Every structure is written in structure tokens, then in C-alpha cells.
Amino acid sequence: MSKKIALTGNYAIAYAVKLAKPDVIAAYPITPQSPIVEKLAEMIESGELKASMIRVESEHSALAACFGAAVAGARVFTATSSQGLLYMHEVVHWASRARIPMVMAVVSRTINTPWNIWPDHSDFVDQRDTGWIMAYAMDNQEAFDLTLQAFKISEDPSVYLPVMVGIEGFILSHTAMPVEIPDEKLVDDWLGERTQPYVIDGLEPKGLGPLTLPEDTEDIFYGIQLAMENSKRVIKSVDSEYGKLFGREYGGLISCYYCNNAKYIAIALGSWTGDLIEAVNTLREEGYPIGVIRVRFYRPFPREDLWEVLRGAKGVFVFDRAISFGAWGPLFTDLVAGLIQYTNKLPIIVNIVAGIAGVHVSAEDFHNMLLSLINRVESGLEHGYFDWVRIRR
């Protein structure tokens, strides 16, 4: 029997991890992630969760401990934020190169310096070349559901890649909202026992991370690329299965809102998409044919799904909450690179960078930006452009 309780985004992830029944959890505290592993530690201490909590001296050690346990056959989980994720970066690559399934929550926080605890997407998108599947939630219910689904996706034999699930710090991590918790037995039957490509348990000789020739290393990297492509099918299948069993299906790699016959499409990642949707609701009432695509999975990048929606659009407005200094927003860059495979004549694509370092972007701000963009296209704008909108109140 499912139940609905009020949970912060951090606690929603912790409750999902509890249902996934990991054998090992390792983490080092960092704001705003710490309540995830604190709650899991409470669950272990009370006997609600049978798992080993490894207390370590750094984020690098946390992921290294999880990696070692996973290689030995354990289902594992960790979580981090911002500088902690950057400190883990070496082992982040190790996990994907070794094709070891695991799940990590990333509670986004601006990368220092200066010291800043407010959220943007810089820490998350900074991992885009590491070989991890990367999902990002819009609300606490989706954070719960994505975390559970991440274990299923990661352990699929056609994938065998680690998965990170992102949420914005404080906006979701410390804000409570109703979250439906499904029946434990149903989750057990659906998730099943852990699977992985190999186990190093000392019973037979195996080598992990040995010196290889360039051609062999290239083959390993190519295998990651193929697994990423395979994961697109798996992500959609897992989302569909989850919807049938638990009543929530999100659309797979992307989620569309008012996309049918929309002349203009706004694209974003994460919780601020909720404010974007509010702005689009108002614009629809005002007679503007605009919709929203929310990118749920940043890796693998959903180029095919995006093209199917965007191929008939006149204007596309990509909102990035991160910046690749000297270039553009990462979501915009990937979108243009993905669409160019299908056509030499792209719709007008505008990149707006905003909300950096946790600057608040309201539904009213989105409404004003979108209205200005639509008017510019209707007035004869022939190509896209880049703008960094710095909102000051």
C-alpha cells in the first residue's frame, strides 16, 4: 500500500534509497546535501535499513569506498554537492570506465570561489563528459522516482553505467512537498536483485584498471558510448514500467508541455522549469502559441526526441543555469550540435543564461523574457543569439 507524506527533496531521495535497499552507503557532509545521508544514517541506526554506512574523510574517499564496494558486488549509494563533486572527479571517471553500476545524488550548489551556497547547475553539467547517465528532477516527487529508477537503469545489462540524479539545493533540497511512497513489496519485485558485469571477490583472478594499449582503451571508451545510446531505450522502458506500476510516467528523456502545434518552444532543466511553465500558462492565456520542453536526462543527450518536437518550431528559447565561459550555456551547445545532424536549416535558437549563482528567476521574469523573445522573432529576427540576463531587484 502506497502512502503520501511531506518530504524535503533531500528526504525524498533518502526514502527512495531506503526502498532500493543498498548494501553500502558512503558520504562526506557538504551543504546542502548533508540531510540525505544524515537521514539514511538514522534509518540504519533504527534498523529500518540494513546497510553499512562508511564514514570517510573526504568526498573523494566517499566515492572511492562506494566504487570498491560496488566492484565487490554491493548495491551502493552516495551523495554530494558542488566542491565535493569536484573533489570526487577522479573517481567519477573511474566508475564509468570500469562500467560499474551505482547511483549518486547531486544537490546542486554554485561552484566556489567566492563562497556561495545558492544553486545553479554548474556542478552538475560540469560532469557531462564523465560517462555517467545524468538525470535532473523538477520537484520532490520526481526526485524520489528518478532515484529509484536510477538503480534499475544503472543495473540493466545493456547499460551498466553509473547514474547521477540532480536537484537544486534549497529550492528542492530543503523545501517540503507531498511525496507518494510506493509499496515496498512492489518495489522489491520491480527492482530485483543487483546485477553487474563482473565481480572482484578474490575467488578468481581479475584485473581492474590495468595498463592497456591505446586500441584497447579506445574500445572501452567506445563501449561507454554504445551503452549511452542503449540507455535511451532503457530509460524510456523503465519510465513506462514505473508509470504502469506506480502511476507516474514522465515521458522518458524529455517532458513536454503544450508542445503540440506550438510555434515557440522554451527549453530548460530542473526546478525552475516550474516557473517557466507558469509563465507559459500566462502567455497561452494571452494568445501566444508557446510550449515547454523539460530536459529530464542531460546524458545521454536526447537529440532524437528534441528534434521530433522542434522540427516544426519557428523559435526555440534555451534557458541555461550554467555557463561555459568563453562560449555559451551547455544545454544550448548540446542542443545545436544535436539538431545540426538532422538539418542545415535550424529554427531560430536563442540562448539565455540566467539564474547564475542562485539569482532568483520568477515566473514573471520568464514571462517578460519570453514575450520579448517572441516579439523579436515576429519582428523579423533571422538568426539566434546569446544573452546573459542578470536579474536585479
pLDDT, tens digit (0-9, with 9 covering 90-100), for 223-258: 999 999 999 999 999 999 999 999 999 999 999 999
Share of the chain above pLDDT 90, in %: 95
Predicted pLDDT at 207: 85
For residue 36, what are the domain limits? 3-246
Mark whether 59 and 159 lie in a shared domain: yes
Mark whether 176 and 39 lie in a shared domain: yes
C-alpha cell recorded at residue 218: 579506445
Give the chain's mean pLDDT.
97
382 found inside a domain = yes
107 found inside a domain = yes
Mark whether 240 and 270 lie in a shared domain: no
Number of domains, the chain: 2
Decide which of 214, 246, 278 is a domain's last residue. 246
Predicted pLDDT at 209: 86
Mark whether 153 and 238 lie in a shared domain: yes
28 found inside a domain = yes
CATH number for position 304: 3.40.50.920
Mark whether 199 and 261 lie in a shared domain: no
- What gap in Å lies between CA 27 and CA 294, rounded to an integer? 30
Mark whether 117 and 181 lie in a shared domain: yes
Q: What is the mean pLDDT of residues 163-178?
A: 98
CATH number for position 153: 3.40.50.970
377 found inside a domain = yes
pLDDT per residue as tens digits for the range 63-118:
999 999 999 999 999 999 999 999 999 999 999 999 999 999 999 999 999 999 99
Burial label for 260, CB within 10 Å (0-12, 13-18, 19+), is: exposed
Mark whether 141 and 204 lie in a shared domain: yes
267 found inside a domain = yes
Mark whether 192 and 337 lie in a shared domain: no
pLDDT per residue as tens digits for the range 324-369:
999 999 999 999 999 999 987 899 999 999 999 999 999 999 999 9
- What gap in Å lies between CA 37 and CA 177, rounded to an integer? 19
C-alpha cell recorded at residue 178: 507531498
Mark whether 238 and 278 lie in a shared domain: no
Predicted pLDDT at 30: 97
Q: Which helix (H) or strand (E) holds 4?
A: strand 3-8
393 found inside a domain = no
Amino acid at residue number 1: M
Mark whether 49 and 184 lie in a shared domain: yes
Whether the pLDDT of residue 280 is over 90: the answer is: yes
Decide which of 246, 267, 284 is a domain's last residue. 246
134 found inside a domain = yes
Mark whether 307 and 352 lie in a shared domain: yes
Q: What is the mean pLDDT of residues 176-181?
A: 98
Amino acid at residue number 387: D
Are residues 31 and 117 in contact, defined by beta-carbon separation less than 8 angstroms?
Answer: yes
Predicted pLDDT at 202: 85
265 found inside a domain = yes
Mark whether 45 and 123 lie in a shared domain: yes
Decide which of 229, 246, 263 is a domain's last residue. 246
* Bridging pattern class, strands 348-353 and 133-136: unpaired
